[in-house]
Structure 1
Amino acid sequence: MLGFNPIAPFGCGALSPAALRIQRDVRQCQPGKACHKWKTFRHACEAKAALALSDRALTVLNALLSFHPDTVLTLGSTDLVVFPSNRELSLRAHGIPASTLRRHIAALVKSGLIQRRDSPNGKRYARRAAGGDIELAFGFDLSPLVAAVDDLAELAARAVEERHVLDALREQVTLARRDIAKMLALGVERGVDADWPALHHEFLGLIDGRPRTPCRAALEPLAAALVELSGRILEILESHIEPTRPIREPSANASIATNPTPKAGAESAGNAFQPDIERDVASAVPVRLVAETCPDFVDYARHGLRTIRDVVDAAVIVRPLLGVSPSAWEEACAAMGQGPASVTLALILQRGNGIKNPGGYLRTLARRAAAGQFSIWPMLMALRGAQRGKDPAEMKTPAGPSFPDDSA
């Protein structure tokens, strides 16, 4: 009678087939099978996704293991049942409430890592012999954990391999995105003859289709498509690279004749640009906020986004990629100023395929700006709120209209 191990739960709970399966697996294992409890616990942590266990359920399992005095657990021994009170178990599980504790214990039982050994009255205790040894204990049996040690090790190895593959795919996607953005910017800046808006649209279509929670099945085709697109763009750029020519020393007369012209042109361009920048600085949003909200736009900045001039320079590269005509851009700059127009273009780029006609959309915003009915802040905060998963209406933004109809 003292050697009987109950498997039915206390109270009105029904006996589940999972409990019978766990009991069968334990009996089929050879007595004397041992495991290092902390190594096995680490394997369970690695395989938590396959076991459908949460972090807090693993915290409860860690607490249960800590009640066993030995580091090595041996199958067939009479001391594999731990019987802590709910209070002590809650304290070792970092203060988890009793209701939460019961839920996570049920998850551990369902996953097959532990098994209940309920007493006649549902309490947890041990019956000891005259010499002090435990004859029969009621609580949580750790035998299923020992029996599943090989399966847990295999699941952990698969999980580690899957994580390594996933990390490699993420790196490949990130590197391919960076190369494509930089090559598109170089092609537009150098005036290479190619259909850059179409390539950029294809690039945006791939990026917008990436999953919010990446998995291997979704990242593998995405990485392959980005690498293929990167190779096509690289071939276009390589075909337009001029052969290297030996550097010749210019004559003194040629130097005198050619030096003043670029200097005068640069000076005049600087004089033409400076008033617009000075006029826009007061109304422009912080450049750091633009960089945080529009990470795709940062890829086209040659030296990063540090000043409003960097934003304007990047917008010059992005404009033809979005298919915005020069006249629409000039209209936006005249109505908003170069700085706000560049920030608006960054926001349009970040929204990706959500805007069907970027040029017409920018014209609509320019007309609203000319009528005093447009502000960048609501548009910026709406996109920022969408990225954070919050309702844009809950965010504190300056008064003003938000996005107009995207069909423009």
Structure 2
Amino acid sequence: MLPPGCTRSDVERLLPVLRRAFRLSEACAFTLLAFIQATRPSDWTDPARDPVCHAMQTAMAQRLGLTPRALRYHEVTLERAGLLLKTTAADGSRGSFAGGTVVQGLSLAPLVERMPELLALAAEDEAERQRLLGLRRQCSAARRVLKGVLQRLLESAPQAPATTECLAFYAELPRRYDGLEASDLDALLSSLDEAVDKGLGLLEMRPESSGVPEPGFRLSVQATREDNLESCVASADGTRPAGTPADASLVAAPVGAEEGREPQARDFQRGHKPHWLETFTPRRLYAACSEDMRMYLDATKGHRALPNELDLVRAAVMILPDLGINPSAWDEATEAMGDLAAALAVIVIDARRFDPVRPIRSPGGALRSFARLALAGRLNLAGSLIGLVERNRREPE
């Protein structure tokens, strides 16, 4: 009998895992699938019965488009692999005789016995797949952060050796990560981290700004008309209930787009011309984060006292599973507002889960809502961050 909760269809879904584990050919694995499908589904979950394929060899060979000899070869291969037991009579007959006391055919009881092992292998494969996806996502995010750093370096210090070095490194980066193993992705991510560190270090060596906001930049809520207000406060499904008044810290504002900037994220907030981390310092952002987010930031920043731009992005990517946010929601957010702004949105959403008045119960829905508002030019992420930072400043230590 299969483990509790498993059915014949679960065995069928494990066929790719089984094929890799036992090094079966594609034709042999397809033959095994045919044997499985020729059994009764109830026999897989009945402790008193074994799943047995009673189909005649010639009929099964015809169904699979094989010669009887090729089918016999697959049967022997599967039997030697310990996946089935051949119990046919001397003349090759198969079936159930003597009121079911004699059962002849291809018994898949050995496969049933190996199901716990196969389920464990499937879990390992899925964990490795998720790890690879996470590494690829982090490499992609780091590459985009590096591109933004490089653009700022080309504007502020185009002749600096570090700028030339960063440009050369960027030009050599692989365009796709699909063929890279986990060790290759780890090495690539480390080199990207180092390049971003160098670039950000050079940017920090620029003369400090006066600290006076540029004309037209307002830290306060930017919407001035009632019909422009759009709350980002999420209900259980990630959307604002009808009739809910706009939250002052999460209100959206219309924007005017500027040309030649990348990506759309740079354009979704009117007046937000300074870089995000020039307005919201890493120290204040780190202090305003939840304990969970600070744990991930500590992991990404390593020995540095405060997180940099890439640390914020990587920590946001790492916390997505904890928040139940589908990776597609993150991709949607980065396309709409860019990696850093998406990371800051995740920080806001994560912190708002614990809001005593209006908590966000669906982080994934909230992030998708942020992305839609950003595309529509109605997201005031700065206002959300101001509210978060100010709330942390007022809370007793």
Structure with the bigger RCO (C-alpha within 8 Å, sep 6+) is 2
TM-score range, shorter chain: 0.3 to 0.5
For the pair shown, the structure with the greater C-alpha radius of gyration is: 1
Report the TM-score when normalising by structure 2.
0.44
